[in-house]
Amino acid sequence: MKITLLFFATLLMSFSCKEDQIGIVEKVEFTTMGMSGVFEHITITPDSVFVETGQRRTDEPPKSVSKSIRRDAWKTVLNALSSVSTTGIDSLKSPTNKRAFDGAMHSEITITTVDEEIFRHSFDDETPHQKLQPLMEVIRKLSGKSK
């Protein structure tokens, strides 16, 4: 009886953790940069998307664009995150490591919670771990730079 009760309690906690996780995400960021100095930084919050692009090795200031998003767009971001635990993001392996020898842009997805916990996943170009690929697609769509 105790084992059955323990099993159901564990099962119930695992489902409730997913729901709690979705409620604690404050912002999602995508950053990519190359050795040539080209960079892009996208920040998505529950009400807006901010995109900054530029070239670090010039005197030109970065270009910035900000736009409001609807609540359902934020829910799309959270749904894309639902297949992975925020605490597990740091341990996901990158599919490739070409950025180590400048064979690809160095990219990173950063998840920040309301408690200011930060979880990061580094990868090449726009190819994160397969669990984060749906999130990458949503980020690109909301930033207006879909492929």
The pTM for the full model equals 0.79
- Residuewise pLDDT in 10s, the chain (147 residues): 545 444 444 444 444 344 444 458 999 999 999 888 899 999 999 999 999 999 888 888 999 999 999 999 999 999 999 988 888 888 898 888 888 787 788 999 999 999 989 999 999 898 899 999 999 999 999 998 765
Q: Are 113 and 25 in contact (CB under 8 A)?
A: yes
Classify residue 69 by burial, with Cβ atoms within 10 Å: 0-12, 13-18, 19+. Answer: middle
C-alpha–C-alpha distance, residues 137 and 104, integer Å: 19
> Which domains, from first to last, does the chain contain?
2-143 (3.30.1560)
Task: Name the DSSP class of 48.
Answer: E
Residues forming beta bridges with residue 29, ordered by sequence position: 43, 110
